[in-house]
Amino acid sequence: MSVDKDTVLRIAKLARIAMDDAQASGMEAELNALLAWVEQLSEVDCENVPPMTSVVEQRLRTREDVVTDGGYADDLMKNAPQSEGHFFVVPKVVE
């Protein structure tokens, strides 16, 4: 896969990046080099490599899933500048 100058300018427009023709030519070469490097990765044999979530083998720490008491709504509402019941009152921002 290769990228031409028009594609670079289109990507720049979609990303809202200001780019002139000289910059686009330089970026074209950089993107084509990057894509060539990615294509080299497809040559690597990874048939017997197990899927990993990290390069360092580790186990995720877990905790027991227990229900806590919660029930601190009254204490939380003491900090609210305006409240109604157990809800914060805020100005309307969408009409």
What is the average pLDDT score of the chain? 89
What count of other Cβ atoms lies within 10 Å of the Cβ of residue 57? 8
- pTM for the model: 0.48
CA–CA dist 24, 68 (Å, integer) = 57
> CB–CB of 77/83 below 8 Å?
yes
pLDDT category at 39 given cuts 50, 70, 90 is very high
